[in-house]
Structure 1
Amino acid sequence: MAAAAAETHSRTVETPYGRLHVRDTEGEGTPVVALHGFPDDSRIYNRLTPYLAPHRVVSLDFRGFGHSERPEKEVLEPGQREAELDAVLDALELDRVMLVGHDASGAVAVNYALAHSERVAGLVLLNCYYGDAPALRLPEMIRLLGDPHFTPLADALVSDPKMRGWLLAHTRRRFGYALDDPEGVAAASIVPQWFGENGQPNALVAIRAWTATLYPELANQDQHIANGELKELTAPVTLAFGEDDAYLSPELARHIQGLFANATLHLVKNASHWPQWDQPELTAQLIRQAGI
């Protein structure tokens, strides 16, 4: 059972990349800082946060997503997501945190821990990827958006609202979310990025910018692996993967576990790509066991 809800503050943090929106839930002990991937935002942690009480939980919207500043055009710079995270930690005066990374932000969390080990008490990775691997099955939609050979086709598809809806519907069949569930993760966090909400524009510019870096970033991650950097990471690493995810699967989770010297893997039953949404109480328990 979740503890009594702590107060959540909506903050705006100024960074070199613009204004970022941050959800900051009051608490004590080692703060949990939770990151989102694409194409969603910080609201993927709405169900999880109450189960982490009394710990402080900070979740942020990266530039261009959620309620953060929208650029008219964007080319994502190497290391920009890590720099955005660093700016948030500095602004909130968080010296040492537990990082939770999901989907594309799993790589952000790992990279940040490699560069700033003194600030990371531990890593929790939820249905993410790091580097290329035979077990990596990227969603067809993401592969299309990330492949520069198909940029004109991808631009044409996402510019058409009907085709955007079709792409989401196709992807959900394997990710396991319901588009028409008003209480589901899609309604809360995914659909607003694709279509906007309550006067807030969509996040298509940010989605296209982040997916455009996909393949170069996989190559950079492979280099970190080849250099043995992940094996040298001293922060404890916990993987919690929804076992019903047909893309970022248990097989991939076991591969990622092997990249670290001492990582713990938990497969979350009755959960797909968003275990923090499908099984928030169990996911919170695994985060607690990771050392907060």
Structure 2
Amino acid sequence: MSVHPILAASRRDAILQSLAVIAAASIAVPGTALAASPVDQAPSKGRFRERYVQRAGHRIYVRDYPGEGPAYVMVHGFPDNCRIYADIASRLSAAGRRVVAFDFLGFGASDKPDGFSYSFEQQLADLTAVVDDLGPIKVIPVGHDAGGPAAINYAVTNRSRVASLVLFNCYYANSPVLAFPDFIELCCNPKTRLLAVAMMTDPKQAAYLFQFQQEPIRAHLTPEMRERFDTVLQPIIAENFSMSPSSMPAMLAMTGNAYENLAANDLRLPVLGSFDKPLKLIWGSWDRYLNIAVAKDLAAHFPNASLTALEAEHWPQFDQPDQVVRTLLAS
């Protein structure tokens, strides 16, 4: 089973039920429908073609925004999905650039097969399948949060397909400046994982964990940003857990694999120094976890890296879409 082995099926089902309750009652703002985010409903957000890419007998959901040039292929983290890129995808498409955003297996509108081996290696394979489906064109992987490892590893191992690389607040390998958000660390750390599972089995405790993690993020936001965080971004995240089947098995498996993935990427660090394509790091400077020190540490491993710091939180593509797009399109 892809869920951590300490989870019996009954425990897993209890967690899924708990998260559905939390999503409906605790994370989402009262009166906000989870079925369709305002990001997707707004007519100014641009048109995209929905399709699926097949991999390992399962469907990866893809949104393809029309445009030319190397395609931006946008990679989400957990517990997000491709809808976090809607703001910048529509703007880039309006500027004439093609954008492809997709949901990893286990998240968003992609298949969530029961018993599937969700892992960082699986996510790299998902990204590879999406790029291969585009045909022989150049791409620009865009990685955010836990999607950073897949974007980086794809870029450095498929250089002939890659025009450049873009990273938003993310991570890659072990570093003295790296700190996972408290809730994520609770799930990742073998010493606290049993406690995390126990708390997430209890709806009240799980709601507390989610609310606890939200507050440090909301604290720095402007009133307008906070409104969008509450009414747009949080429902996107909540829907991952309220839908059936849920994204919870994938998230538990990914967090359980996080330390192992850091160690694997430690061994790959020397390869980054030979990546001769441009790298743009566009960073929300208010992020207290994956902060500017993390961005500088990442940039130091690449020979052609540039860093742009924005007045934004963990999701700069969401908080400051116009500035992010200007930076992406700048030569």
What is the TM-score when the length of structure 2 is the normalising length?
A: 0.80
- Code of the residue aligned with 1:250 in structure 2: it is I
1:210 to 254, 261, 280: 254
1:10 paired with 2:50, answer: yes
Q: 1:23 aligns with which of 50, 60, 63?
A: 63
CA spacing shift, 1:192–1:147, aligned 2, 3 Å: same
Q: Distance in 2 between matches of 1:163 and 1:237?
A: 41
1 or 2, which has the higher helix percentage? 2
| Distance in 2 (alpha carbons) for counterparts of 1:151 and 1:5 | 39
- CA distance in 2: counterparts of 1:50 and 1:123, whole angstroms: 19
Q: Does 1:285 align with 2:329?
A: no
Match of 1:191 among 219, 233, 238: 238
- Equivalent residue letter for 2:324: T
Which of 67, 70, 90 aligns to 2:109? It is 67
Q: Partner of 1:261 in structure 2?
A: 303
Structure 1 unmatched runs, 5+: none
Look up the SS of the partner of 1:183 in the other structure: helix
Q: Give the equivalent residue in structure 2 for 1:219.
A: 263
Tell whether the 8 Å contact from 1:102 to 1:126 is kept in structure 2 after alignment: yes
Query: How many angstroms does 1:145 deviate by?
Result: 1.1
Q: For residues 62-95 of structure 1, what are the alpha-carbon distances to aligned partners after superposition, in whole Å with 9 as ceiling and x for unaligned?
A: 0000000012223335621111111111223253
Describe the superposition over 1:72-126 as per-residue Cα deviations: whole angstroms up to 9, x where unpaired. 2233356211111111112232531011100011111110111111111111100
Task: State the shift of 1:180 in Å.
Answer: 8.9
Change in CA separation of 1:229 and 1:162 when aligned onto 2, cut-off 3 Å: same
Supply the distance in 2 between the matched residues of 1:9 and 1:37 (Cα, whole angstroms): 22
Instruction: Give how far 1:154 is off.
Output: 2.2
Identity of aligned residues (%): 35
Residues 52-131 of structure 1: pairs in structure 2 closer than 5 A: 52-53=92-93, 54-77=96-119, 79-93=121-135, 95-131=137-173
1:231–1:17 Cα change, 3 Å: farther
2-side partners of 1:242 and 1:33: how far apart? 20
Amino acid at match of 1:36: H
Partner of 2:37: none
Where 1:273 maps in the other structure, the secondary structure is: coil
What is the rounded CA distance, in whole Å, between the counterparts of 1:148 and 1:73 in structure 2? 21
Deviations 1:255-282 (A, max 9, x none): 111111120000012x100000000011
Is 1:145 aligned with 2:187? yes
- After TM superposition, give the deviation of residue 6 of structure 1 in Å: 4.3
Secondary structure of the equivalent of 1:7? coil
- Name the count of aligned residue pairs: 281
Deviation at 1:46, TM superposition (A): 1.2
Call closer, same or farther: CA 1:173–1:78 in 2, change over 3 Å. closer
SS of the aligned residue for 2:273 comes to: helix
Which residue identity does 1:41 align to in structure 2?
Answer: N
TM-superposed CA distance for 1:181, in Å, is: 5.3
Instruction: Give me the whole-angstrom Cα distance separating, in 2, the residues matched to 1:287 and 1:164.
Output: 37
Preserved CA contact (<8 Å) 1:37 1:102 = yes
Mapped contact 1:175–1:247 kept (Cα < 8 A): no
- Matched residues in 2 for 1:140 and 1:242: separation? 18
Change (3 A) 1:78 1:203: closer
After TM superposition, the score normalised by the length of structure 1 is 0.90
Q: Distance in 1 between matches of 2:137 and 2:125?
A: 15
Structure 2: segments with no counterpart, 5+ residues: 1-42
Superposed CA offset, 1:196-219 (max 9, x none): 3xxx43210010111111001101
8 Å CA contact 2:45, 2:87 repeated in 1:
no
Q: RMSD of the TM alignment (CA)?
A: 2.0
Q: Are 2:242 and 1:201 aligned?
A: no
Q: 1:100–1:124: 8 Å Cα contact kept in structure 2?
A: yes
Larger-gyration structure (1/2): 2
Secondary structure of 1:59's partner? strand
